Structure 1
Amino acid sequence: MLSDFEFNLQHQLSGLKALSNISELAKVGYRFVGTEGDRKSIEFMKKQFKSYGLDVVELPIRVPTFEDEKPLLKILATGEELECIAPLFSPSTPPGGLEANLVLIGDGTEEDYRRVNVRGKIVVLPETTVGFAKFWLGTFAERAAQAGAVGMVIIHPMPWPYRMTMEAGYSNPQKRFCEQKLPAVCISAIDGLKLMHAIGKGETRVRLETKNLIEERDSVIISAFRRGTEYPEERVGIIAHRDSAIALGANDNGSGSGTILEIARVLSQTKPKRSFEFISSTAEDGATVGAYKYCEVHKEDLVKNMKALLDIDMLSGAVVKQIEVGHWPDTEPIKHPAWLLKMVDDVAAELGYGFGRLSAMWGVPEEGRFIDIGVPATVLWANDDPYYHSIHDTVDKVNPANLKAAADTIAIVAWRLANSKIKEEGER
């Protein structure tokens, strides 16, 4: 049952103020790690944290970034240009682009390449589910390259293209990229129909041009602390990544960043026994290498002193959920602690909210990196946003009621963790 103090916390938290934060971040545009947008979002997050009286600490990181110019996919027989998006970390075409014939290749399995000659051609792969089945393009591209293909076109099952990634989809950062990549673009289901119609008429020749920059760049992970009154070294962590794979990134993850700021605004005025650490991370999009580096640097301290980590990522999908177990192809299942998931659900129920549960079948957000080193962690994650990684991920689609529900729940869970005898909650 909510205490009077917790009821007051809930009363102070505002979904509309969280939405205002999201609007400011969306104005920045493309916020991928190491870009100008990243620099501006760092300034914004630090300014807000400092205005709440929090102690701000930065962890420098150096990781690959990706910037691109508008790509081109043109059906040469008609001159029609199709709207397309280049995947993260996909290579550029040769200067001036490349011209080649298209060939359908099914799901892009080894068996598909044994039955179809793709040498010198651009392969076309449809995503055959409503989800994002080919989001991790690395292994698909490597198979195509090994078979002699010169490019890829992926058809997304939505009426718009989205930003995929040329990463392999492994947890281990050392295995992040395959040895061979291909120039690639993603197109919408609507333009996919146009492309299929052209192929059916024998108009298979296209021009593909991408101009992409991939290089190592510097950024920071921001930690903002509200120090505890009795056990300041011990703390509860709340994390949200600020980077976006494409502009405007209002839901992914402006929603998490805007909400963590609102939680920080309110909790900064409290006097917890343990500290709160609000973490604004980057380099999440892709294989969560920012959180990996953070955990690598601070592992000993985190294992000893961070009692739990609460992740906020994409709050405006259909249903906000907690992950029960997550899967990467190169690791054992990542089991999220039942006691912490239950605590979040119980607090949400006290507040009149409810969150779902899911098993993440290919990758988990940043809380997985904390679980890997032994820190109990969970995430509020609405992973079924149809506008994911598209230019339609805009502020008008973010529901402030979702922000309010997440902020209320996370703030009160964090408060209880910071002030309770943790072992009574089931912690190690």
Structure 2
Amino acid sequence: MKKIILFALTLITTTVFSQSQTDTYFKLTRANFNQDNAYATTAFVEKYFRVPGNTGFNASIHYVENILKKAGFVEQKNDEFESPLTYRIEKRPMKRNTWEPVDASVTIVGEKMPLIAYQTNRNMIPINCPSTPTEGITAEVIFVGRGTAKELEGKDLKGKILFADASTGRLIATAAKAGAIGVMGYAMPKYNQPEKYQTSISFGSMPADAGIWSLLLSYGVKEKLKAACLTGKVELKVNIQTKIYQSEELTIVANVKGNIKPNERFVYSAHVQEPGANDNATGVGTLAEMARVTASLVKTGKLKPQRTLTFLWGDEIVSTRRYIIEDTTRSKGILWGMSLDMVGEDTQKTGGSFLIEKMPDPSAIWTRGTDKHSEWGAGDVKEKDLFPHYYNDFIFDICKAQGKFANWTVNFNPFEGGSDHTPFLQNKIPGLLMWHFTDVFYHTDNDRIDKVSATTMKNVGISALTAAYTLVTANEITASATVTQVKNDALIRLKTEFELSKKAIADGKSVADEKHIVEVWGKYYRDALATIGTMAVKPETTKVGSAIKVATLEIEKQTQTYLTELK
């Protein structure tokens, strides 16, 4: 009995001490994160349509480089740990040419004002689109409805422009074969609400060797052009100017050296490519300010990381995956990964919500109750894909604390994939995504700086830094407190799943199936607790192991109680 009482008191004490440590990091990050800096970087980056190797992409990389240099990072000469603060720009030849848009316009012959122009719709030119002759080209446009085989049958397209109320992607080859000089089309996801936001165009791409050009239209322009075509012959004056040239791919990596276990690290990733402000100029801007803050705290002695912090900017998924797999020794030391993607939204304008996309847990398989996927959509997660770890609950609780402090709404969604957290998970490294969805301007040319909130970037930056600082300096007190935290979160989740399964059984669902869901959740959290054993930088006693055992037994007992009651 004394051991139990003493242990309980120890857990209470460690929770207080750990919270004090986290509070210290919260105070440091809240006082030092300059949201104006993050916003200024975002504003610079969002000016460009960014494709790896092109002017805007490279300018963004060098803009971040200047921030790092001013903060005290020195260019790496031999190895990344030659100084406490280092950075390097990795340069690689590209297998294919890069591309960038310059200008475009489409005008109905006989009208003074353009039907659509690049100045207001940068996404009208798909990636890899070639230029027209400098003086532009004039040709008749042929409307083919949805572009089905029946609608295309018998159409004379030679020397003309094919226009469809459908995606250009599936029509380019057919149009080129028929002798058309170009294709214009429309395709927008429902979550962009195109009938309400009629000027939006989703960015897209086309084959570099298509032999003809293509253009993408907004809902409003598509409807206007369709109406004109249905009344008679329509000719268009089209001018497209783009650049296609050889270049090199750039990735920038900055390191803050850990002073005890430098080979163990926390890695942040923010992708540079894509044309939007929220997606992902905000990730670039937020991470750049996070690196500056970290350097400042290290130089003043207010932060003494015991593990390394790595900051990476590059091509989405490609750069992160390469960073992980190209150096197997380095890869073994990556303990956590975090993707910052679309992290600065003004949710009053975009309609989105800040989300933490969890690593695969059972909610990705059985999504019910208050859990819900974003409109991005669920992935095909199986039980074998589950990734039990304390990281999900640890990060969510950090963000909730900042949310409570700043009156900032924090939510989560089950795993879906599709950003820089995916390569971490594919390589068995805990990885999470910080993002916003559903955003009505997602991937459209209305994703501009006026939709960005500097305050949101600050909340994200504070949360991401506080979490990492806590983990790269974690001791047994931190680990013991995390055991308590994860156990409590587990008991809350088990109760929720029990109630959902009890109702499902009452509604006629299989008892065996509903019990299985509760069993899987119980096992998930037992396995997650086990991962806390390696959290501390320097484990010195068996205290954490003992705490894990006690918490595991409590979860097992509660799981069995619920299973017995499910009849």
**TM-score, normalised via structure 2 length:** 0.61
Distance 1:328 1:216 in 2: 34
- Note closer, same or farther for the CA distance 1:274–1:52 as it changes in structure 2 (3 Å cut): same
Structure 1 residue 14: Cα displacement: 3.7
Partner of 1:18: 38
Task: Specify which of 101, 104, 112 is matched with residue 144 of structure 2.
Answer: 104
Give the 3-state SS of the residue equivalent to 1:350 in structure 2.
helix
Instruction: Name the stretch that deviates more: 116-125 or 310-319.
Output: 116-125
- Could you list the per-position Cα deviations for residues 218-263 of structure 1 after superposition, in whole angstroms to 9, with x for gaps in the alignment? 1321111110011101110011123342xxx432222111111222
- Pairs within 5 Å for 1:23-62: 23-26=43-46, 29-53=48-72, 54-62=85-93
The aligned residue for residue 424 of structure 1 is: 531
Say whether the 8 Å CA contact 2:45–2:56 is kept in structure 1. Answer: no
Q: 2:305 is paired with a residue of what secondary structure?
A: coil
Which of the pair has more CA radius of gyration?
A: 2
Q: Secondary structure at the match of 1:71?
A: strand
1:348 aligns with 2:390: no
Structure 1 residue corresponding to 2:152, chosen from 116, 119, 132:
116
In structure 2, what residue type is equivalent to 1:40? A
SS at match of 1:185: strand
Q: Does 1:252 align with 2:279?
A: yes
Which of the numbers 221, 238, 243 marks the counterpart of 1:213? 243
Where structure 1 has 5 or more consecutive residues not aligned to the other structure, the ranges are: 128-133, 168-176
- Structure 2 residue 256 is matched with structure 1 residue 226: yes
Following TM superposition, by how much is the alpha carbon of 1:375 offset from its aligned partner in structure 2, in angstroms? 2.8
Conserved in 1, the CA contact under 8 Å of 2:140 and 2:233?
no
3-state SS in 2 of match to 1:34: coil
Q: Who is 2:221 aligned against?
A: 191
Query: How far off is 1:399 after superposition?
Result: 0.9
Correspondence 1:337-376 to 2 at 5 A: 337=387, 339=389, 340-351=391-402, 352=404, 353=408, 354-357=410-413, 360=416, 364-376=418-430
Within 5 A, what are the aligned runs for 1:291-330? 291-298=320-327, 300-315=328-343, 316=345, 317=350, 318-324=352-358
Q: CA deviation at 1:87?
A: 0.8
Does the aligned pair in 1 maintain the 2:52–2:249 contact within 8 Å?
A: yes
TM-score normalised according to structure 1 size: 0.79
- In the alignment, the residues of structure 2 paired with residue 231 and residue 198 of structure 1 have an alpha-carbon distance, to the nearest angstrom, of 68
Identity of aligned residues (%): 22
The question of whether the paired residues in 2 share the 8 Å contact of 1:336 and 1:377 is answered with no
In structure 1, the residue matched to 2:204 is 165
Structure-1 residue corresponding to 2:27: 8
* 1:365–1:139 CA distance, 2 compared to 1 (3 A): farther
Structure 1 position 267 matched with structure 2 position 301: no
Shift of 1:80: 5.1
Inter-partner Cα distance in structure 2 for 1:372 and 1:231: 24
The RMSD of aligned alpha carbons is 3.6
Distance 1:100 1:369, change over 3 A: farther
Structure 2: gaps (5+ residues): 1-18, 73-84, 118-123, 189-193, 298-302, 365-374, 480-529, 536-567
Mapped contact 2:143–2:164 kept (Cα < 8 A): no
Contact 2:103 2:242 in 1 (8 A): no
Q: Is contact 2:29-2:293 (8 Å) kept? A: no
1:114–1:328: structure 2 CA closer, same or farther, 3 Å change rule?
farther
- 2:106 aligns with one of 28, 49, 73: 73
For the Cα contact (< 8 Å) 1:97–1:210, is it kept in 2? no
Q: Distance in 2 between matches of 1:206 and 1:321?
A: 44
Q: How many residues align?
A: 395
CA 1:277–1:187 in structure 2 vs 1: closer, same or farther (change >3 Å)? Answer: same
RCO higher in 1 or 2 (8 Å CA, sep ≥ 6)?
1
Q: Work out the CA distance in 1 between the residues paired with 2:233 and 2:58.
A: 45
Q: Which whole-Å CA distance do the structure 1 matches of 2:533 and 2:231 have between them?
A: 64
Give the secondary-structure state (helix, strand or coil) at the position aligned to 2:279: helix
Cα shift at 1:308: 1.5
Post-superposition CA distance 1:153-199 (Å, at most 9, x none): 233523324352225xxxxxxxxx58747521122222222112102
Higher mean displacement: 46-55 or 363-372: 363-372
